[in-house]
Structure 1
Amino acid sequence: MGCQDGWGTNEDLEFISADVTIRAWQLTSSDLVFTSELSFTKGGTLQGTIPFGTTIDLDHHLVVVEVRDATVARGRVFYGGGSANLGNSGDPYGGVLFAYSQSETLLWTPSASSSAGFLIYVGGLWGDGTDKIESNNVLIKTTVITAGYTECPIPPDIPNASKLYNGTLAGSRTMYACPPGFTNNGGSPELVCDGLAWSTTSYSCSVSSTSTVPVTTSGATTNATTATLSTTPQTTIDPVSGTPVKTNNISLEEFNAIVEGLKVPKSNTSSHKRSLTCAYDPRPSSTAIGGVGIAVLCFMFVLLFIMDCTTITKENLNN
């Protein structure tokens, strides 16, 4: 094997011996996503595009193009080439080149007008001229194989915590959050998959406190014990920035009551009344935007009023 004459760096690599490893795979029908085989003779019409009929994943599928010598029974098989370079014009060459996308394979063969081009060619100095091959009658087989890949198991559950994850492949993330009535211990709410296992965390959710709140059932008022937080602002960790933030958690019953108070029945409420119903937004930016809108409207009314007064004054002076 050798590497010189412009290939790679300026350093020449030449070896007169090497270890050759040969591997073979036994595929099952579930491993094959697509397969196609066609006969081709140089000078004929080539089906240059081989559609897969489906969209493949370039990270998890392997596309293989094989070229078999069809001039002999059970002819020798060669892999298609990804690209080729010819040293000198007129020198014999051979091969079937291919490229592929998520939906199809593209094939190239030597021009029919080139007498030096073959679909399969092994000659010249290769093998010292022994057992050379020059074939222009081949079988071209295209195969799409599912490549094996590792993934993490389903992320673990944390008691009393909600879980959301975007996959089980390397780089996938899992986020945990405590529901109303529970508080976390300050541990990291995020896990990351490294391709085999999830990272670990001490994140946990525990009941904040217990208090008795009135619950109305069938016209009667009773007392029920529910999990709730005190009104003192609690500190938790923002899952995005990782900085402490203050939160005022409420009980699930209080949360549901707020949601119900914001709902407006569509069946027995006019569209005009529904349009007047909105939720209070305590953010300063909302107040600023509303104030600017009111100021613009007032300015327009004042401007129109001044223009009308100016017009009336001019008419009175003219009269």
Structure 2
Amino acid sequence: MVYLAESPIPQYVCSSNETEQNGTLIRINKAYEHIVYPTNCYYTLPSDGIQDGIHYYEFIFVEGNSFVGFTTKDHFADGFHIRGLFYGGTLSDGLASLGAFSRRTHQGDTVGLRIDLTKEKIKIYVHLNGRSLGLAFDVNRGNISALYPTVHTYDDALIRIRKLETFPTETEYQPKVFSGIEGDFAFEQAVDNGKNVSTDGWKQFVLSLRKKPKLSNDTFQVYRLHFAVINSINGFLIKNQNSKYEVKGVESTLIGTYGEALKAEAFVFKLISGLEDVVTNGDNLLIKSKSNTQLNLKRFTKPAPTAVTLNPILGEYNFG
């Protein structure tokens, strides 16, 4: 754990008194507040805010996770009353989600936000651990004069904000490259009890597999398994020292389904409950199960996420 020394020069303005500051570091303690009510802090350097040009801020997640981004002094407030342009895996205005963008940020991540300010536009580009995720916000500037780097968190967090003078110039989306069993896979061909199953209505369904290094060791390799049909079907795919696979900890959301989605979800549950083997061949993934049941999938590259084009600071979103 990192402990903070007292700093004579506060560099953050926060909506809660349960914070500690040390230069560019801010610790937010949520233990004394209701956990679902977010704490907000903005970084006061430069004192007159970011007004024009290209700027790059680095947010280092020493402990915990958070949304990070930019707000104005006029739109800074406590809890959900804040309005800004925030990234934390999804994009947010401080109250509502504005759309999915990447995986959720977590401890150990470094988020770089490049903000381009002209008289007409605000553009914010995201880098996650050195990889460009592309354009997140492309919105009208309107009457916004100055913006400040901001932390918006629901949990305990220790975060460092730094302004970099030398920073990555890449702004285009850089897809993550996977190999072996990891990646995102689309349904291709299914066999149930030795009979081919039509997957024409299943092409939009996806399996994602990601290794969990903190749960893996020399004996077991653990992967997070996520089937996205209508419901999210999640679990852990575990490979033991004998290269045998099993699935544990299966959970699912409970959205009502029908038609092809219902058939696909029933097939997935049968597939993973009787899992016998997983075979890879290049970008092809074959999951074998009992009773001569199997699913062929093919790895694909996710397209660039979609940028937000309406500015919630200007009230261009109306959530009712």
Please tell me the TM-score bracket, short chain as reference: under 0.3
Normalising by structure 2, we get a TM-score of 0.24
Normalising by structure 1, we get a TM-score of 0.24
Bigger relative contact order, structure 1 or 2 (CA pairs below 8 A, ≥6 apart): 2
Tell me which structure has the larger Cα radius of gyration. 1
Which protein is richer in strand relative to its size?
2
Which protein is richer in helix relative to its size?
1
